[in-house]
Structure 1
């Protein structure tokens, strides 16, 4: 793996853990695709640092469990503003 990829993977993991950010928000911040962030967190990070990978995975699982709530809230706000 190239050095800049390793650096990005660790930076992204640190950002996700600290900010409890979703994949989409993280992708926007780092200027890469959602697929890249997902691949970084699920395939590359466990090879680089398993402990950080476990922490990041916990955050991403929590976000996944809550996504239906965020979607409902967004829909409610959309129709409330109309």
Structure 2
């Protein structure tokens, strides 16, 4: 693994922990794909910085546990917006 990839993994991990960000939000901020972010913070980061990888995993698990709530809120907002136009 090159130094650039290692540095990117650490930077992504620190961003996720600091901002409690999702993989999608992180990908948008850094301008890379969600797949790259996911591989970097789940597989590569555990080899580079195990303690940071654990913190990132905790944030990702929290995000995963509440994603159904965020999806429901987005759907609710969508239909409220549509209803308001009538």
Aligned residue-pair number: 82
3-state SS, counterpart of residue 38 of structure 1 = helix
Structure 2: give runs of 5+ residues left out of the alignment.
none
Distance across 2 between alignment mates of 1:29 and 1:11: 12
Q: Normalising by the residue count of structure 2, what TM-score does the alignment of the two structures yield?
A: 0.93
Match of 1:81 in 2: 81
Rg comparison, structure with higher value: 2
Structure 2 SS opposite 1:16: helix
Cα shift at 1:42: 1.1
Please tell me whether residue 56 in structure 1 is matched to residue 56 in structure 2: yes
Separation (CA, whole Å) in 2 of partners of 1:13 and 1:47: 13
Considering only aligned residues, what root-mean-square deviation do their CA atoms show, in Å? 0.5
Where in structure 1 are there 5+ consecutive unaligned residues? none
Q: 2:14 and 2:42 mapped to 1: Cα distance?
A: 14
Aligned pairs for 1:63-74 (under 5 A) are 63-74=63-74
Give the equivalent residue in structure 2 for 1:18.
18
**4+ aligned runs moved over 3 Å, structure 1:** none
Per the TM alignment, residue 41 of structure 1 is displaced from its structure 2 partner at its CA by 1.0
